[in-house]
Amino acid sequence: MAIFGLWVINKAGGLVYQRNFGDGLPGLTSNEYLVLAGTLHGIHAITSRLSPTGSSSGAHVIEGESFKMTIFLTATGTKFVLLTSPVEPTADSVLQKVYEIYADAVMKNPFHTPEMPIRSEVFDTRIAALIK
């Protein structure tokens, strides 16, 4: 029951926000995070094509042995990725709330350029308050 990190990936596969919580996972350099986000973007597209039956969404939950990633894709193509411990029942609702905060603190901000890295203090503090 722990949240390790949050990524926001724009519709082109660029990482626009990345933050770690706690020390459950080792930190990587920002370059490595960018590469991983790009890879995830590609994998997400391929997974929707591999469906054995009918049309499918992209990967929703990816599990490793010590953590899982929950991916939430918005209608506009932005992806919110939450890294949590393997048993974390609240991951989906946390992502939903992150999306609400993103809409309020980022998208409604007239000084924010879409698809560019998120540098907003309000977003930072509200995310910190949500994930404790």
Partner 1 sequence: MTIYSLYIYDRHCACVYYHDWHRTKPPRVANEGGGILPAVSHQIYPRKDGAALDTNPRNTLMSSSGIIVAVNDEVPRTPLPGATQQVPANAGLPFDEEAKLVYGVVLSLRNMVKKISGKDEGFVNYRTSTYKLHLYETLSGYKFIMLSDPNADSLRFVMRQIYAGPFLEYVVRNPLTQMDSKESGIDNEYFRTSIDRMIRGLSVFN
Query: 121-130 vs 91-102: helix axis angle to the nearest 10?
Result: 160
Locus of tokens 């949590």: 84
When asked if residue 64 is in the footprint of partner 1 (CB under 8 A), the reply is yes
Q: Is 30 in the site for partner 1 (CB under 8 A)?
A: no
Q: Residues 80 to 99: which contact partner 1 by CB under 8 A?
A: 83
Q: How far is the CB of 10 from partner 1 (least distance, A)?
A: 19
Is residue 20 near partner 1 by the rule CB under 8 A?
no
Strand order in the sheet with 3-9: 15-20, 3-9, 79-84, 68-73
- Interaction of residue 101 with partner 1, rule CB under 8 A: no
For residues 119 and 93, what is the distance between their CA atoms, to the nearest angstrom?
Answer: 24
| Phi and psi, residue 29, nearest 5° | -75, 160
Provide the minimum distance between the beta carbon of 48 and partner 1 in the complex, in angstroms, as a whole number: 7
Instruction: Establish if 107 lies at the interface with partner 1 (CB under 8 A).
Output: no
* CA-wise closest residue to 57 among 41, 40, 70, 44: 44
For partner 1, the binding residue among 29, 31, 55, 113 (CB under 8 A) is 55
61 part of the interface to partner 1, by CB under 8 A? yes
Q: List residues bridging with 124 in a β-sheet.
A: none
**Closer CB to partner 1, 66 or 125, in the complex:** 66
Tell me which residues touch partner 1 (CB under 8 A). Answer: 25-26, 28, 32, 36, 39-40, 42-43, 46-67, 69, 83
